[in-house]
Amino acid sequence: MTTIAYRNGTIAADSRTTLETEGGGARMFLCEKLFRKTVTLKDGKTQEVIIATAGESTPGMVFLDWFWSGQEPPERLIDGEADFTCLVLQEDGLFEYDAWCRGIQILDEFYAIGSGAKAALAAMYMGASAAKAVEIACRIDFYSGPPITTMRLRNAKLQVPKMRRGPSQRKQSPKREAAVGVHSPLGGREDILLLNNEPGRNDGAGQKR
């Protein structure tokens, strides 16, 4: 499950994972959904990419390990009916992958995936940032929940084609969002958007992402 949103070079994600058990019911916990990876190009130079995962957790991690490895896609992803989607942000644009491991470039100005995608897209049509869009989706979608994390490519200038603008988009002055930097286990420092919990709202962690 999950909400992942992209806008203006920023990818934002919620942190809730929902595990539905065979015996019925579900439990929730927090997890990472945004990952940095350094890949080696054909000319020997390195490039940083950001991978955002949604859907089944384990297939998403298998994709993360496989991406840009130079090896054939894992058979378990293609033949195992894996249910996941990944967004990959590179210097040359945003790409969407599924179990077929074949990227499709996204040319829209903003984009979202996951169970809260519609809410996030609606928010961005109204001018919200990627982080704000995920915050709004968390208030609507049961399978998405805070804290919200964001990532941008470090020291990279995106080389993306001219993107389509959504209808009725007007320039707005976005509200400043309260954020705190935290150290990621993968290294570096990431921004986490702080949300105010509503009374009676269960914002526990929210194996599907």
pLDDT in tens, 7-62: 999 999 999 988 777 777 778 888 899 999 988 888 888 889 999 999 888 888 99
> Three-class SS of residue 60?
helix
Q: Classify residue 111: in a domain, yes or no.
A: yes
In eight-state DSSP terms, residue 75 is H
- The torsion region of residue 61 among left (phi > 0), alpha (psi -120 to 50) and beta comes to alpha
Domain span at 72: 3-193
Does 12 map to a domain?
yes
Residues 6+ apart with CB under 8 A from 29: 17, 19, 204, 205, 206
Lowest model confidence (mean pLDDT) among 70-79, 140-149, 185-194? 185-194
Q: Is residue 50 part of a domain?
A: yes
Q: What predicted TM-score, i.e. pTM, was given to this entire model?
A: 0.72
**Angle (nearest 5°) at CA 169 between 52 and 120:** 30
Helix, strand, coil percentages, rounded to 5, for the chain: 15, 35, 50
Q: Domain of 57: which CATH number?
A: 3.60.20.10
Total domains, the chain: 1
pLDDT single digits (tens) 85-144:
999 999 999 999 998 889 999 999 999 999 999 999 999 999 999 999 999 999 999 999
Strand partners of residue 13: 4, 149
In the chain, how long is the greatest CA-to-CA distance? 55
Which DSSP category does 174 fall into? P
Residue 180 forms part of a structural domain? yes
